[in-house]
Amino acid sequence: MSFESLKDCMERLLTSFDFAGIGWWYIDYVNAPDQFVCNPAMERMFQLPSIRVHSVARCCPIAGDYNRQVAEVDRSAAAKIFAAYEAMINGETDRYENTFPFQLPDGQRRFFKSQARVVARQEDGRPALAHGIIVDVTEERLLETRLREQRDALQQVSRTDPLTGLANRRGITTRLSELRRESGQPLVFCMLDLDHFKRFNDAAGHLAGDEALQRLADILSDFFSSERDSLQGRYGGEEFIIAFRAEDEMAARQKMEHLLTRIRNEMPPHPDTDDPHGRTTASIGCVLLPAEDERARSVDLLIQMADRLLYSAKAQGRDRLEMETLH
Protein backbone atom coordinates (compact mmCIF):
# COMPACT_ATOMS: atom_id res chain seq x y z
CA MET A 1 0.00 0.00 0.00
CA SER A 2 1.36 3.42 -0.97
CA PHE A 3 2.07 6.13 1.57
CA GLU A 4 -0.84 8.24 0.33
CA SER A 5 -3.18 5.26 0.52
CA LEU A 6 -2.13 4.70 4.10
CA LYS A 7 -2.87 8.32 4.94
CA ASP A 8 -6.27 8.04 3.31
CA CYS A 9 -6.96 4.98 5.43
CA MET A 10 -5.96 6.95 8.52
CA GLU A 11 -8.47 9.66 7.66
CA ARG A 12 -11.31 7.17 7.30
CA LEU A 13 -10.41 5.51 10.60
CA LEU A 14 -10.58 8.88 12.40
CA THR A 15 -14.32 9.01 11.77
CA SER A 16 -14.97 5.33 12.46
CA PHE A 17 -13.27 5.33 15.85
CA ASP A 18 -14.93 8.60 16.83
CA PHE A 19 -18.30 6.90 16.46
CA ALA A 20 -17.14 4.26 18.98
CA GLY A 21 -15.83 6.87 21.43
CA ILE A 22 -12.23 5.76 20.90
CA GLY A 23 -9.49 8.33 20.54
CA TRP A 24 -7.51 7.99 17.31
CA TRP A 25 -4.47 9.88 16.04
CA TYR A 26 -1.77 9.74 13.42
CA ILE A 27 1.45 11.59 12.64
CA ASP A 28 2.84 12.12 9.15
CA TYR A 29 6.57 12.32 9.91
CA VAL A 30 7.42 13.04 6.28
CA ASN A 31 5.29 16.15 5.69
CA ALA A 32 4.23 17.32 9.17
CA PRO A 33 6.39 15.72 11.88
CA ASP A 34 5.51 18.40 14.42
CA GLN A 35 1.75 17.85 14.21
CA PHE A 36 -0.67 15.08 15.01
CA VAL A 37 -4.13 14.66 13.59
CA CYS A 38 -6.80 13.29 15.90
CA ASN A 39 -10.52 12.67 15.99
CA PRO A 40 -13.05 14.59 18.15
CA ALA A 41 -13.17 11.72 20.67
CA MET A 42 -9.52 12.27 21.55
CA GLU A 43 -10.03 16.03 21.71
CA ARG A 44 -12.85 15.51 24.17
CA MET A 45 -10.78 13.11 26.27
CA PHE A 46 -7.92 15.56 26.72
CA GLN A 47 -9.98 18.76 26.58
CA LEU A 48 -8.21 19.91 23.42
CA PRO A 49 -9.68 22.54 21.11
CA SER A 50 -11.78 21.12 18.25
CA ILE A 51 -9.32 21.93 15.50
CA ARG A 52 -8.35 18.37 14.42
CA VAL A 53 -4.65 19.19 13.88
CA HIS A 54 -2.54 19.81 16.98
CA SER A 55 1.05 20.53 17.90
CA VAL A 56 2.99 17.51 19.11
CA ALA A 57 5.19 19.71 21.30
CA ARG A 58 2.30 21.53 22.99
CA CYS A 59 -0.57 19.04 23.07
CA CYS A 60 0.63 15.42 22.77
CA PRO A 61 -0.01 13.59 26.07
CA ILE A 62 2.74 11.08 25.28
CA ALA A 63 5.62 13.14 23.90
CA GLY A 64 4.72 16.83 24.27
CA ASP A 65 4.06 19.34 27.01
CA TYR A 66 0.92 17.44 27.97
CA ASN A 67 3.23 14.71 29.28
CA ARG A 68 3.65 17.02 32.27
CA GLN A 69 0.00 16.32 33.07
CA VAL A 70 0.96 12.67 33.47
CA ALA A 71 3.88 13.63 35.70
CA GLU A 72 1.50 15.64 37.89
CA VAL A 73 0.03 12.29 38.92
CA ASP A 74 2.91 9.83 38.44
CA ARG A 75 6.41 10.91 37.38
CA SER A 76 7.59 7.36 36.74
CA ALA A 77 4.60 6.71 34.45
CA ALA A 78 5.36 9.90 32.51
CA ALA A 79 8.96 8.82 31.98
CA LYS A 80 7.91 5.30 31.04
CA ILE A 81 5.43 6.26 28.33
CA PHE A 82 7.83 8.84 26.86
CA ALA A 83 10.60 6.21 26.74
CA ALA A 84 8.24 3.77 24.98
CA TYR A 85 7.38 6.43 22.38
CA GLU A 86 11.05 7.25 21.83
CA ALA A 87 11.89 3.56 21.38
CA MET A 88 9.22 3.30 18.68
CA ILE A 89 10.41 6.45 16.91
CA ASN A 90 14.07 5.33 17.05
CA GLY A 91 13.28 1.97 15.46
CA GLU A 92 13.88 -0.17 18.55
CA THR A 93 10.30 -1.40 18.27
CA ASP A 94 7.37 -0.84 15.93
CA ARG A 95 4.70 -0.49 18.60
CA TYR A 96 3.98 0.26 22.21
CA GLU A 97 1.13 -0.20 24.67
CA ASN A 98 0.74 1.42 28.08
CA THR A 99 -1.73 2.71 30.64
CA PHE A 100 -1.14 6.03 32.31
CA PRO A 101 -2.81 8.54 34.65
CA PHE A 102 -3.51 12.06 33.46
CA GLN A 103 -4.55 15.29 35.11
CA LEU A 104 -6.84 17.22 32.76
CA PRO A 105 -6.69 21.02 32.53
CA ASP A 106 -9.86 21.27 34.66
CA GLY A 107 -8.23 19.24 37.46
CA GLN A 108 -9.89 15.88 36.80
CA ARG A 109 -7.69 12.81 37.07
CA ARG A 110 -8.33 10.12 34.47
CA PHE A 111 -6.64 6.92 33.31
CA PHE A 112 -6.00 6.16 29.64
CA LYS A 113 -4.85 3.10 27.75
CA SER A 114 -2.77 3.87 24.68
CA GLN A 115 -1.59 1.70 21.80
CA ALA A 116 0.47 2.91 18.86
CA ARG A 117 2.52 1.55 15.99
CA VAL A 118 4.65 2.70 13.09
CA VAL A 119 2.97 1.57 9.85
CA ALA A 120 5.60 2.93 7.45
CA ARG A 121 9.26 3.89 7.75
CA GLN A 122 11.53 5.94 5.55
CA GLU A 123 14.59 4.41 3.87
CA ASP A 124 16.87 5.58 6.69
CA GLY A 125 14.70 3.83 9.29
CA ARG A 126 12.97 6.91 10.61
CA PRO A 127 9.20 6.64 10.88
CA ALA A 128 7.10 7.86 7.99
CA LEU A 129 3.65 7.28 9.44
CA ALA A 130 2.48 6.25 12.90
CA HIS A 131 -0.98 5.95 14.36
CA GLY A 132 -2.52 5.02 17.67
CA ILE A 133 -5.67 4.68 19.71
CA ILE A 134 -6.42 5.94 23.21
CA VAL A 135 -9.25 4.72 25.41
CA ASP A 136 -10.45 6.22 28.69
CA VAL A 137 -10.22 3.37 31.23
CA THR A 138 -10.87 5.42 34.35
CA GLU A 139 -14.04 3.57 35.31
CA GLU A 140 -12.33 0.22 34.86
CA ARG A 141 -9.42 1.33 37.03
CA LEU A 142 -11.77 2.62 39.72
CA LEU A 143 -13.64 -0.68 39.66
CA GLU A 144 -10.36 -2.60 39.93
CA THR A 145 -9.36 -0.42 42.88
CA ARG A 146 -12.69 -0.96 44.64
CA LEU A 147 -12.52 -4.72 44.06
CA ARG A 148 -8.94 -4.82 45.34
CA GLU A 149 -9.89 -2.81 48.43
CA GLN A 150 -12.86 -5.10 49.07
CA ARG A 151 -10.65 -8.17 48.67
CA ASP A 152 -8.05 -6.71 51.03
CA ALA A 153 -10.79 -5.83 53.53
CA LEU A 154 -12.18 -9.37 53.40
CA GLN A 155 -8.70 -10.80 53.89
CA GLN A 156 -8.20 -8.48 56.86
CA VAL A 157 -11.51 -9.56 58.37
CA SER A 158 -10.62 -13.23 57.88
CA ARG A 159 -7.40 -12.65 59.84
CA THR A 160 -8.84 -10.53 62.64
CA ASP A 161 -10.48 -11.52 65.91
CA PRO A 162 -13.85 -9.72 65.90
CA LEU A 163 -13.92 -9.08 69.67
CA THR A 164 -10.45 -7.63 70.20
CA GLY A 165 -9.38 -6.48 66.74
CA LEU A 166 -6.11 -8.39 67.13
CA ALA A 167 -4.96 -11.15 64.81
CA ASN A 168 -6.90 -14.41 65.00
CA ARG A 169 -5.29 -17.82 64.45
CA ARG A 170 -5.07 -17.32 60.69
CA GLY A 171 -3.69 -13.82 61.18
CA ILE A 172 -1.16 -15.10 63.70
CA THR A 173 0.16 -17.60 61.18
CA THR A 174 0.34 -14.98 58.43
CA ARG A 175 2.05 -12.33 60.56
CA LEU A 176 4.51 -14.83 62.03
CA SER A 177 5.50 -15.81 58.50
CA GLU A 178 6.22 -12.13 57.79
CA LEU A 179 8.26 -11.82 60.99
CA ARG A 180 10.41 -14.77 59.96
CA ARG A 181 11.37 -12.95 56.77
CA GLU A 182 12.28 -9.82 58.75
CA SER A 183 15.50 -11.34 60.04
CA GLY A 184 17.89 -9.66 62.41
CA GLN A 185 17.54 -9.95 66.17
CA PRO A 186 16.34 -13.05 68.02
CA LEU A 187 12.59 -13.77 67.93
CA VAL A 188 10.62 -13.86 71.19
CA PHE A 189 7.40 -15.89 71.05
CA CYS A 190 5.03 -15.75 74.04
CA MET A 191 1.69 -17.06 75.22
CA LEU A 192 -0.21 -14.91 77.70
CA ASP A 193 -3.18 -16.08 79.75
CA LEU A 194 -5.33 -14.01 82.11
CA ASP A 195 -5.32 -15.54 85.58
CA HIS A 196 -8.58 -16.99 86.95
CA PHE A 197 -10.53 -15.63 84.02
CA LYS A 198 -13.33 -18.18 84.35
CA ARG A 199 -13.93 -16.88 87.85
CA PHE A 200 -13.95 -13.34 86.43
CA ASN A 201 -16.67 -14.30 83.95
CA ASP A 202 -18.68 -16.20 86.56
CA ALA A 203 -18.60 -13.30 89.01
CA ALA A 204 -18.88 -10.29 86.69
CA GLY A 205 -20.70 -11.78 83.71
CA HIS A 206 -19.59 -12.48 80.17
CA LEU A 207 -20.19 -8.91 78.99
CA ALA A 208 -17.71 -7.63 81.56
CA GLY A 209 -15.41 -10.48 80.57
CA ASP A 210 -15.52 -9.39 76.93
CA GLU A 211 -14.77 -5.82 77.97
CA ALA A 212 -11.77 -7.08 79.96
CA LEU A 213 -10.46 -8.94 76.91
CA GLN A 214 -10.89 -5.80 74.82
CA ARG A 215 -9.02 -3.80 77.45
CA LEU A 216 -6.16 -6.28 77.38
CA ALA A 217 -6.05 -6.02 73.57
CA ASP A 218 -5.80 -2.24 73.88
CA ILE A 219 -2.94 -2.57 76.36
CA LEU A 220 -1.06 -4.97 74.06
CA SER A 221 -1.58 -2.78 70.99
CA ASP A 222 -0.38 0.32 72.82
CA PHE A 223 2.53 -1.47 74.49
CA PHE A 224 3.91 -2.70 71.15
CA SER A 225 2.88 0.34 69.08
CA SER A 226 6.49 1.35 68.50
CA GLU A 227 7.56 -2.20 67.60
CA ARG A 228 7.36 -2.58 63.82
CA ASP A 229 8.45 -6.22 63.98
CA SER A 230 5.82 -7.50 66.39
CA LEU A 231 2.66 -9.58 66.58
CA GLN A 232 -0.26 -9.51 68.98
CA GLY A 233 -3.08 -12.00 68.52
CA ARG A 234 -5.88 -13.75 70.35
CA TYR A 235 -5.34 -17.49 70.24
CA GLY A 236 -8.67 -18.29 71.88
CA GLY A 237 -10.60 -17.50 75.05
CA GLU A 238 -8.30 -15.55 77.35
CA GLU A 239 -5.09 -16.81 75.68
CA PHE A 240 -3.07 -14.36 73.61
CA ILE A 241 -0.02 -14.70 71.37
CA ILE A 242 2.80 -12.15 71.39
CA ALA A 243 5.89 -12.13 69.19
CA PHE A 244 8.60 -9.50 68.87
CA ARG A 245 12.33 -9.16 68.41
CA ALA A 246 14.79 -8.45 71.20
CA GLU A 247 18.53 -8.10 71.50
CA ASP A 248 18.83 -10.83 74.11
CA GLU A 249 16.97 -12.61 76.91
CA MET A 250 17.60 -9.82 79.41
CA ALA A 251 16.01 -7.22 77.15
CA ALA A 252 13.07 -9.52 76.39
CA ARG A 253 12.55 -10.33 80.06
CA GLN A 254 12.58 -6.66 81.08
CA LYS A 255 10.03 -5.85 78.38
CA MET A 256 7.61 -8.59 79.40
CA GLU A 257 7.95 -7.76 83.10
CA HIS A 258 6.99 -4.21 82.20
CA LEU A 259 3.96 -5.58 80.35
CA LEU A 260 2.88 -7.55 83.41
CA THR A 261 3.08 -4.35 85.45
CA ARG A 262 0.88 -2.52 82.99
CA ILE A 263 -1.67 -5.33 83.08
CA ARG A 264 -1.82 -5.19 86.89
CA ASN A 265 -2.24 -1.42 86.84
CA GLU A 266 -4.55 -0.94 83.85
CA MET A 267 -6.89 -3.92 83.69
CA PRO A 268 -10.31 -3.65 85.42
CA PRO A 269 -10.42 -5.09 88.96
CA HIS A 270 -10.98 -8.83 89.31
CA PRO A 271 -14.18 -9.61 91.28
CA ASP A 272 -12.97 -13.02 92.51
CA THR A 273 -9.21 -13.36 92.63
CA ASP A 274 -6.50 -14.56 94.98
CA ASP A 275 -4.58 -11.33 94.44
CA PRO A 276 -4.63 -9.39 97.74
CA HIS A 277 -5.20 -6.12 95.88
CA GLY A 278 -8.06 -7.44 93.76
CA ARG A 279 -6.12 -6.89 90.55
CA THR A 280 -6.54 -8.75 87.26
CA THR A 281 -3.22 -10.37 86.46
CA ALA A 282 -1.70 -12.53 83.74
CA SER A 283 0.86 -15.27 83.36
CA ILE A 284 3.27 -15.40 80.41
CA GLY A 285 5.45 -18.11 78.90
CA CYS A 286 8.10 -17.09 76.35
CA VAL A 287 10.72 -18.76 74.21
CA LEU A 288 13.57 -16.81 72.64
CA LEU A 289 14.92 -18.21 69.37
CA PRO A 290 18.06 -17.18 67.49
CA ALA A 291 17.48 -15.14 64.34
CA GLU A 292 16.40 -17.28 61.38
CA ASP A 293 16.00 -20.37 63.57
CA GLU A 294 14.20 -23.09 61.59
CA ARG A 295 11.97 -23.90 64.56
CA ALA A 296 10.21 -20.56 64.03
CA ARG A 297 8.67 -22.02 60.87
CA SER A 298 6.27 -24.17 62.91
CA VAL A 299 3.55 -22.22 64.70
CA ASP A 300 2.42 -25.41 66.43
CA LEU A 301 5.93 -26.03 67.80
CA LEU A 302 6.25 -22.44 69.03
CA ILE A 303 2.88 -22.68 70.77
CA GLN A 304 3.83 -26.01 72.33
CA MET A 305 7.07 -24.59 73.73
CA ALA A 306 5.53 -21.33 74.96
CA ASP A 307 2.51 -23.15 76.40
CA ARG A 308 4.75 -25.37 78.50
CA LEU A 309 6.40 -22.29 80.01
CA LEU A 310 3.02 -20.61 80.48
CA TYR A 311 1.77 -23.49 82.60
CA SER A 312 5.01 -23.47 84.53
CA ALA A 313 4.25 -19.82 85.39
CA LYS A 314 0.73 -20.82 86.44
CA ALA A 315 2.05 -23.64 88.60
CA GLN A 316 4.42 -21.28 90.37
CA GLY A 317 1.69 -18.95 91.56
CA ARG A 318 0.54 -17.00 88.47
CA ASP A 319 1.15 -13.30 87.76
CA ARG A 320 4.64 -14.10 86.56
CA LEU A 321 6.85 -14.70 83.55
CA GLU A 322 8.71 -17.84 82.58
CA MET A 323 11.22 -17.54 79.73
CA GLU A 324 13.65 -19.89 78.05
CA THR A 325 16.36 -19.23 75.49
CA LEU A 326 16.73 -21.94 72.83
CA HIS A 327 20.10 -22.76 71.30
Which sequence positions are flagged as catalytic? 238
Rg of the chain over Cα atoms, rounded to whole angstroms, equals: 32
H helices, E strands: number in the chain: 11, 11
Residue 298 has phi, psi (to 5 degrees) of -105, 110
Q: Is 126 exposed, middle or buried (0-12, 13-18, 19+ CB in 10 A)?
A: middle
Q: Under the phi-then-psi rule, with left for phi > 0, alpha for psi from -120 to 50, and beta for the rest, what region is 128?
A: alpha
Concatenating the DSSP letter of every residue in 223-269 gives HTTT-SSEEEEEEETTEEEEEEE-SSHHHHHHHHHHHHHHHHHHSPP
**One-letter identity of residue 297:** R
Cα–Cα distance between 36 and 296 in angstroms, integer?
Answer: 62
**One-letter identity of residue 294:** E
